[in-house]
Amino acid sequence: MSQLIVNGIRVDDTFAEAFGMRATAIVITAHNAAWARQAAVTMTGFATSVIGCGCEAGIDRMLNPDETPDGRPGARVLLFAVSTSELQKQLQKRVGQCVLTSPGSACYGGLEAEERLKLGNALRFFGDGWQVSKRFGDKRYWRVPVMDGEFVCAATTGLSRTAVGGGNIIVMGATAQTTLAATELAVEAIGTVPNVITPFPGGIARSGSKVGSRYKGVTASTNDAYCTTLKGSGNSALDADITSVLEIVIDGLTSDAVAAAMRAGVRAILTLGPERGALRIGAGNYGGKLGPHHYHLKDLLP
């Protein structure tokens, strides 16, 4: 594979291949930022990959009180799924089990769109007849009585059919420490880009996967070409100096947001340099045949 060298780091002349997804956003508020974050973290747990979790979800960003509908600290959460019905199911279950249950929480739509997903309209039945509907202007809310007061929840939130899932950066380094340092820096940079999430633990996946398996019924399996302990095998894509590989997966509400996030991540890694960070940057794709969105690394360079 041909490569560019930028600031001493090898950049593969390749591209990340991403897919169209359905997405939504919600805003969670609470008495303070810590509890807003707690509810958001809880509802986005076990949401790293649609392969096994039903959806991919994460915190887009924390919100100041003047940015939320009820004037309390909040968090904006993004959810991505492969179908509208699965997204609706995941949204309902996760908000119902993880946000409704969290002390002092309230939940609002975080995405303006013509197509809507049920939010409070699905959860109101928890009120067992004591729930109250309030409409202020064109916005409808449900007030569901709970033990610490009321769970206030917007009736619906917006649905996007133009979201993108699967933007990615593969970070390769000489040691686990330097590779992790570069990847952490990239995730931090991506965190400043609006409308994107990095759904894996801390934004980082150590177990990149490929489509399919030699075993029947297994839809994804380890990306052996990038497994450092398989270097030297016929399929390896790794150089001799690489001993650690990590991947950042990026989902965004728009293709532009994913591109901006990848650009921010790549630049952060390049800025750190090869001594303290990564030796090489790559990206995952399927030959360009499966996903309609292609993000060429050379287009993202400074």
Partner 1 sequence: MSALVFSLRDAPAQRLDLAPLTPDRLVGLSESKIAAIELQTTRERLRAGDVFKIRIGDATQIRFDGGSERFDRIGAGMSQGEISIDGDVGTQAGRLMQGGRLAIVGNAGPWAASSMKGGTLVISGHTGERLAGPVAGETVGMRGGVVMVRGDAGVRAGDRMRRGMIIVEGKAGSYAGSRMIAGTLIVRGRTGRLPGYLMSRGTIVTLDGSDALSPTFVDSGVHEFVANALMASYVQAYSPEVAAMLRQPWRRFLGDMAVIGKGEIFYPPVTN
**Four-point Cα dihedral 129, 135, 138, 142, nearest 10:** -40
**Is 147 an interacting residue with respect to partner 1 (CB under 8 A)?**
no
Q: How far is the CB of 74 from partner 1 (least distance, A)?
A: 12
**Is 215 an interacting residue with respect to partner 1 (CB under 8 A)?**
no
Q: How far is the CB of 212 from partner 1 (least distance, A)?
A: 48
Q: How far is the CB of 66 from partner 1 (least distance, A)?
A: 11
Measured between alpha carbons, how far is 213 from 27 in angstroms, rounded to an integer? 38
Chain centroid to Cα 245, Å, comes to 19
Contacts to partner 1 from residues 127-146, by CB under 8 A: 129-130, 132-137, 139, 141, 143
Contact string (CB under 8 A) for partner 1, positions 52-71, x = contact: -----------------xxx
Q: How far is the CB of 40 from partner 1 (least distance, A)?
A: 17
| Residues sharing a CB contact under 8 Å with residue 127, sequence separation 6 or more, in sequence order | 142, 143, 144, 145
Q: Are 254 and 195 in contact (CB under 8 A)?
A: yes
Among 45, 103, 149, 288, binds partner 1 (CB under 8 A): 149
Q: How far is the CB of 156 from partner 1 (least distance, A)?
A: 15
**CB closer to partner 1 out of 136 and 215:** 136
Which tokens go with 278?
A: 């990564």
**Is 106 an interacting residue with respect to partner 1 (CB under 8 A)?**
yes
Q: How far is the CB of 129 from partner 1 (least distance, A)?
A: 8
Q: Report the largest interatomic distance among the alpha carbons of the chain, rounded to a whole angstrom.
A: 66
Binding residues for partner 1, rule CB under 8 A, total 20
What's the DSSP call for residue 263? H
**Is 103 an interacting residue with respect to partner 1 (CB under 8 A)?**
no
Q: Are 229 and 110 in contact (CB under 8 A)?
A: no
Tell me, what amino acid is at 260? Answer: A
**CB closer to partner 1 out of 137 and 287:** 137
Q: Residue 129 in 3-state DSSP?
A: coil
Residue 135 CB-density burial (10 A; 0-12 exposed, 13-18 middle, 19+ buried): exposed
Q: Which residues bind to partner 1, rule: CB under 8 A?
A: 29, 69-72, 106, 129-130, 132-137, 139, 141, 143, 149-150, 152
